[in-house]
Amino acid sequence: MPTYEYRCTTCGATFEVQQSMKDDALATCLPELCAGSEPGRGHVERLISGGGIIYKGGGFYYTDYVKKSGGGEE
């Protein structure tokens, strides 16, 4: 499941939530985090953050890019 990052526009709290891609975005701040005048009622906005990189296959090795010695100048 992807992790989404949210920020409360009322109290400024930033938090992450794991949600299914099918779930609707959160509309209110989490009550245990919200320090606003009415905990749990602050409006939240979903932040855009970088996605994780998944390497599949044989992998990448530091020896793949090592400068070859020997030979001559070309």
Confidence of residue 63 (pLDDT cuts 50, 70, 90): low
Q: Is the pLDDT reported for residue 71 higher than 60?
A: no
Residue 70 within a domain: no
Residue 36 within a domain: yes
DSSP 44: E
Give the count of domains, the chain. Answer: 1
User: CB under 8 Å to 20, separation ≥6 — which residues?
Assistant: 1
With vertex at residue 19, the alpha carbon angle to CA 43 and CA 41, rounded to the nearest 5 degrees, is 20
> Mind listing the pLDDT tens digit for each residue in 5-61?
999 888 888 888 998 989 999 998 888 877 656 666 788 999 987 766 666 666 666
With vertex at residue 10, the alpha carbon angle to CA 8 and CA 16, rounded to the nearest 5 degrees, is 10
**Which of 37, 42, 41, 49 minimizes the C-alpha distance to 12?**
42
Residue 15 within a domain: yes
